[in-house]
Amino acid sequence: MATARPFLMFTGNAQAAIDLYVATLPNSRITRVERYAQGEPGPVDTVKVAAFTLCGREFMCSDSPVKHDFTFTPSSSIFVEFSTEEELDRAFAILSDEGKVYMPLGNYGFSQRFGWLSDRFGVSWQLNLNPESDNLPTPEPLRGSA
C-alpha cells in the first residue's frame, strides 16, 4: 500500500519546529526521531528523520546536512481548519511570532476568519475557522433555493 505525507526540510532547527507545532496544534504528537551520530553526514544530534502528527495528520522532516540555494516558500503551505475562534487566534499568535504575516486574521469573503503566515522557521501556514463551526452565524440561503 502506498502512502503520502508532507516532508519538511530544515537546516538545523527541525526539533525546535516540531516542538512548537506539537505544542500549538491540537491532536498532535511526536512519533519518532532519529538523530545524526558522530561520523554521519549531519551535525551530531540534529534530526536525521522525524515523524510527527499535526491535527491527526502524519508529517515527516529532517535537518539537511547539505546547504541548498532554497528554503521554504509560501507557495506551499499547511492549511489548518479550527473549530473555534479561540484556537485559531492562539495558533496564529504563536506561529506568527518572529515570522511574517501575509494576510492578517480577518474576513476575506471566502472565509469569515482566515490568516496566512510564515513562521520563524519559514514554513507557511494558512489558518482558517471551519465554516461549519457552531460559533458562526448561519448564512442566508441563496435566492431561488428552497
> How many Å apart are CA 38 and CA 68, to the nearest integer?
22
Report the predicted TM-score, pTM, of the whole model to 2 decimal places. 0.87
* Burial of 99 (C-beta count, 10 Å sphere; 0-12/13-18/19+): middle
Question: What's the pLDDT tens digit per position in 12-56?
Answer: 999 999 999 999 999 999 999 999 999 999 999 999 999 999 999
Which amino acid is present at 66? V
Question: What's the pLDDT tens digit per position in 74-131?
Answer: 999 999 999 999 999 999 999 999 999 999 999 999 999 999 999 999 999 999 999 7
